[in-house]
Amino acid sequence: MTTENNIILNTVQINQKIKRIAYQIYESNTDEKEVIIAGIVGNGYIFAEKLVETLKEISTLKVTICKVNMNKKKPLNSISTSITVADYKNKSIVLVDDVLNSGTTLIYGVKHFLDVPLKRFKTAVLVNRNHKKYPVKADFKGVSLSTSIKEHVQIDFLGKEAKAYLI
């Protein structure tokens, strides 16, 4: 149950973070013709879709979206993508998720792409919680929060509305 007290980011703030991250992705890929935005299934993919939409508005890059299908509860299970290896080989990729908590989802997502030669590999999250158990970092982040391990960050994307809150 959300109350006004536990909202971390409202729709306007989330949209500002998306635009800022999109500009950062564009700036780090100015020498590229194409960038692959790989969103982790669920909210990571929704966040990726919003980044792609903004990148297409602000840049001349060819932007390709990719869905990374993985079981977040069992990240060792097989991981697949909505585009083929040939589609992202020797290209710049940004792996996107909504919240970086322990780093488990991101590290296994990163691992999936490491079997293929890439030009550049970056990560982007809307909320970085700083509770990492793996050496993975977000290259682009909307906001960093110091939370207790018992707290949970929830992001709701509801059409044009969005909010991030602490529960």
Tens of pLDDT, residue by residue over 17-55, are: 999 999 999 999 999 999 999 999 999 999 999 999 999
71-83 mean pLDDT: 89
Within 13 Å and on the Cβ side, how many CA atoms surround 79?
25
Q: Which stretches of the chain are assigned E, i.e. beta strand?
A: 7-9, 34-40, 62-69, 80-81, 92-100, 120-128, 140-144, 153-158, 161-166
Task: Delimit the domains of the chain by residue range.
Answer: 4-166
Q: Is the pLDDT of residue 84 over 70?
A: yes
Contact between residue 63 and residue 26 where contact means Cβ atoms under 8 Å apart:
no
- Looking at the DSSP bridge assignments, the partners of residue 59 are none
Model confidence, pTM: 0.92
pLDDT at residue 149 is higher than 70: yes
Rounded to an integer, the average pLDDT of 123-147 is 87
Q: Give the whole-angstrom CA distance, residue 163 versus residue 151.
A: 16
**What is the model's pLDDT at position 1?**
47
Residue 60 has pLDDT above 80, yes or no: yes
Mean pLDDT within 122-132: 88
Read out DSSP for 15-36?
HHHHHHHHHHHHHHTTT-SEEE
**What's the CA gap between 81 and 94, in Å, rounded?**
13
What mean pLDDT do residues 139-167 have? 88
What was the pLDDT predicted at 58? 96
CATH 3.50.50.60 fits 4-166, yes or no: no
Residue 167 has pLDDT above 90, yes or no: no
| Cα–Cα distances in angstroms (integers) from residue 123 to residues 12, 28, 99, 109, 141, in the given order | 23, 12, 11, 10, 9
Length of the chain: 167
